[in-house]
Amino acid sequence: MERTQVAIVGAGPAGLLLGHLLRARGIDTVLLEARSRSYVEQRVRAGVCEHPTVELLRELGLADRLDREGLPHHGISLRFDRADHRIDLTELTGKQITVYGQQEIVKDLIAARLAGGETIEFEVTDVALHDLDTDTPRVTWTDATGAAHDLRCDAIAGCDGFHGISRPAIPAPRFYDHTYPFAWLGVLAETPPSHEELIYARHTNGFALHSMRSPEVTRLYLQVSPDDQLTNWSDARIWDELATRLEVDGDFTLREGTLLEKSITPMRSFVAEPMRHGRLFLAGDAAHIVPPTGAKGMNLAVADVHRLAPALTALLRGQGTEQADTYSDRCLRRVWRAEHFSYFMTTMLHRAPNEDPFADQLQLSQLRYVATSTAAATSLAENYVGLDF
C-alpha cells in the first residue's frame, strides 16, 4: 500500500494550487487527474483573476508569467441603452483585476509542481474514496497503464469539479440548486480586442460579453437558449449577433477574426453543504457552482484552498482541529457572497426568454442606478475585484 499525507483528487485550479500551498508547509501530496495533461492545459474557461487571487499566486512565487503576460484592468464597462457606463474599479476600491486565462494558470501550476520534483498522476480511472470516517482514509484508482493503486493518507481533498466523485461521497448533504433559462455560447477569436476593457452588454436580444485573452486574442460570449445547439450558430451568425448586441452610439467597431473555439455552457447556481465529511474536504467547483457573469468560479476555488491548506496542516501536525472543524462554515460565507453577486450580475444583464416588460424596467433601473450612484458602483466593484480572503 502506498502512503502520502494528503491525496488530492483533481488537477484543476483548486487541486493544483492546494498542492503548492501544502508543499510550502512541508506536507506531501499525491495529485490525481482523470484527464490528460494536454486536455487540462487546453481547456478554455475563466479569464478574470481577482486581486486576492493574484496576490496569493505572487506570494507563492507562481506569478512570474502572469505578471509578464496578464493584462491588468482598472475598470469594466456596463453597456446598455446604446451607451457605455464605466465602473472604475481602481478608483472605487484601490484594486484591479488581471485578465489571464485559467488554462495559463493551470499550465504554470503544473510546470512548477513538476519542476519541484513532484508528480501528477494523469489519466487515472476508477477513483474511489474509502474509510472517510477514520484518521487514515484511502483512495484507490487505476493508472494510465492499467495498474491498480491503493493509497493510505491522512486527509483527502476533493477538488474534482462539479462532475467529480468526491461530493457524492458526502452522506446526506444539503443542496441548493438554481438553474437559469439561458446558457452562454463562448468563442475565442483570433483578433485584437475591440475595446481595452471588458464590456458586459445588456440588449433586447440578450446579453453579450466582450473579454480577451491577450492583445491578439478576443474572448466573446452570447446569451443563448439552454437547449440551443452549436450547429445553429455559423461563424457569420455569431459575428452578426455580437455586432447587434454590442452596438453603441459612438466610437466602437467589433473586430472580427477566425474563431478558434466555440462552446455552449449551461448556467447554474449550486451549493452543497457541508464541504467536509470526516477526513474528506471539498474545494472549488466540487462544492459550488456560480454562473460566469460575476467571474467568480475560479476565484472561489482559490479562496477555498487558501483556507484549506492551513486547516489541513494544523490537523495533520496535531495542532488542533478548530480550523478543520470550521472550514466548511467559513468557506460557505464567502461562497454565498459570491453566489449572491453572480446571481445579481446575471439577473441584471440577461434577458428572460418570455417578454416581461416589468422585469425589463427593473433591470434597466438597476443598471442606471449602478451606473450613476457611487455607492451602488462601489458595491459592484468591491465584489468584482474580490473581497479580502
CA atoms within 13 A on the CB side of 40: 26
Which residues from 208-247 bind ligand PHB, rule CB under 6 A? 211, 219
Are 160 and 256 in contact by the 8 Å Cβ rule? The answer is no
The position carrying cell 459612438 is 250
Known catalytic membership, residue 95:
no
Are 9 and 139 in contact by the 8 Å Cβ rule? The answer is yes
219 binds, among ligand RFL, ligand PHB, none (CB under 5 to 8 A by kind): ligand PHB
Q: In degrees rounded to 5, what are phi and psi of residue 65?
A: -70, -35
Cα–Cα dist 122/276, whole Å: 25
Q: Which of 174, 136, 130 is nearest to 155 (CA)?
A: 136
157 binds, among ligand PHB, ligand RFL, none (CB under 5 to 8 A by kind): none
Are 121 and 143 in contact by the 8 Å Cβ rule? The answer is yes
From 20, 51, 73, 74, the catalytic residue: 73
Residue of this chain nearest to ligand PHB (CB atom): 47
* Residue 14: all three cell numbers together: 483548486
Q: Which stretch binds ligand PHB (CB under 6 A): 164-172, 269-277, 287-295, 327-335?
A: 287-295
Known catalytic membership, residue 200:
yes
Known catalytic membership, residue 384:
yes
From 100, 180, 200, 221, the catalytic residue: 200
Known catalytic membership, residue 310:
no
Known catalytic membership, residue 292:
yes
Position among 7, 18, 48, 189 found at the interface with ligand PHB (CB under 6 A): 48
Query: Which lies closer to ligand RFL via its Cβ, residue 55 or residue 247?
Result: 55
Q: Where are the alpha helices (DSSP H) in the chain?
A: 13-23, 37-42, 51-59, 64-69, 89-93, 102-115, 235-245, 297-316, 322-349, 357-372, 374-385
Query: Which lies closer to ligand RFL via its Cβ, residue 47 or residue 206?
Result: 47
160 binds, among ligand RFL, ligand PHB, none (CB under 5 to 8 A by kind): ligand RFL
From 13, 193, 292, 350, the catalytic residue: 292
Should residue 295 be labelled a site residue for ligand PHB when binding is judged by CB under 6 A? yes
Type of residue at 52: P
Instruction: Tell me the catalytic residues.
Output: 73, 200, 292, 296, 384
Binding site for ligand PHB (CB under 6 A): 46-48, 198, 211, 219, 292-293, 295
